[in-house]
Homo-oligomer: A and B are copies of this chain.
Amino acid sequence: MDIVDLSTLPEQDSRYDEFLRQVCDKYEMDHAAYAGMNPAAGTIHGHVTYGDDWKVHYQEQGLHLIDPTLHMSQRSIAPVDWSRLERGKDFQRVFRDAHDFGIPDQGITIPVRGPYGDIGLLSATRECSRDEWKKLVSSVISDLQSLAVHIHDNVMTSDTISRMLYHPTLSSRELEILQWAAAGKSQQDIGDILSISHRTVEVHLRSSREKLNALTTPQAVGRAIGIGLIYPG
C-alpha cells in the first residue's frame, strides 16, 4: 500500500480497527492501538485491536490519568519505547492491569501532533524476546512513524469536517482577517496588509464574533481555532 496516498486510508470509524489489524499483520505486531484527542474541540477517538473489555476497564479505572505512556507522550515528540519508561507506581498499576487483559509491557508509542493542539498516539505491542523486539522496532519504526501521522491526519480531518458541518460559515474575508488577528495583528495592521480601511476590518471582526457567538475577539479567535477554521498564529 502506498503510505503517502491518504485516499487509501479508511474513512469510516468502523474501519480504523480493521486498519490497525492490518498494521499488526504487516509489521508482525501482536496489538496496535490509536488514541487521538483534540482538546480544543473536546473530542476523543480511540481504536484498538484488543477487545473492548480493556478499553472499558481503562476508562472505568481512569487509567488515562496515570498512564505513563500518555504522560511521556505529552511532552515528547520522538517515539517512546515502553522499556524506557520509569518503573514507578503508576507504571506498575497500569501494566499489571494490562497484563491481566493479555497486553504485554513490551511496546512502543509514537506521538503525533496537529496544528490545533490535537495529539495522536499510535501504540504497538509484541510479546517476544528483548533482542527480537529491538530488531523489529528498528526495522519498522519509520513506517510506523508515517502511519501514525497519516492515521492521525485522517481521523482529525474527518473530525474537523464533521464538526464544521454544525458550525457557522465565516466568509473567506472574515476568516482571513480573523487569521491575522490570531497572528497578533491589530485592526490597523490588518487594514494595511489587506489594503483596506481599518474600519472595514472592524466590521468583519464584528460579524465574525456574531457568527461565532463570541463576546470578544479573543474568544472568537479561540473558538475559531477550536472548530478548526483557523490555526494559531
Residues of B within 8 A of A226 (CB): 40, 115-117, 225, 231-232
Residues of B within 8 A of A185 (CB): 215-216
Q: Which residues of A123-152 are within 8 A (CB) of B?
A: 137-138, 141-143, 145-146, 149-150, 152
Q: Are B222 and A225 in contact (CB under 8 A)?
A: yes
CB of A44 to closest CB in B, whole Å: 13
Residues of B within 8 A of A143 (CB): 142
Residues of B within 8 A of A150 (CB): 78
Would you call A169 an interface residue if the criterion is a C-beta within 8 Å of the partner chain's C-beta atoms? no
Q: How many residues of A contact B (CB 8 A)?
A: 60
CA distance A212 to B22 in the complex (A): 42
Would you call A76 an interface residue if the criterion is a C-beta within 8 Å of the partner chain's C-beta atoms? yes
A6, A78, A181 — which one has the most chain B CB atoms within 10 A of its CB? A78
Q: Which residues of A1-18 are within 8 A (CB) of B?
A: 1-4, 6
Would you call A206 an interface residue if the criterion is a C-beta within 8 Å of the partner chain's C-beta atoms? no
Would you call A99 an interface residue if the criterion is a C-beta within 8 Å of the partner chain's C-beta atoms? no
CB of A96 to closest CB in B, whole Å: 23
Would you call A92 an interface residue if the criterion is a C-beta within 8 Å of the partner chain's C-beta atoms? no
CB of A227 to closest CB in B, whole Å: 6
CA distance A29 to B183 in the complex (A): 34
Q: Are B40 and A232 in contact (CB under 8 A)?
A: yes
Q: Are B39 and A117 in contact (CB under 8 A)?
A: no
Residues of B within 8 A of A42 (CB): 231
Question: Could you pull out 23 A-B pairs where Cβ atoms are within 8 angstroms?
Answer: A1-B183, A1-B233, A4-B81, A6-B78, A39-B228, A39-B233, A40-B226, A40-B228, A42-B231, A77-B114, A142-B145, A142-B146, A145-B145, A182-B218, A182-B219, A184-B214, A184-B215, A184-B218, A185-B216, A219-B232, A222-B230, A223-B233, A225-B226
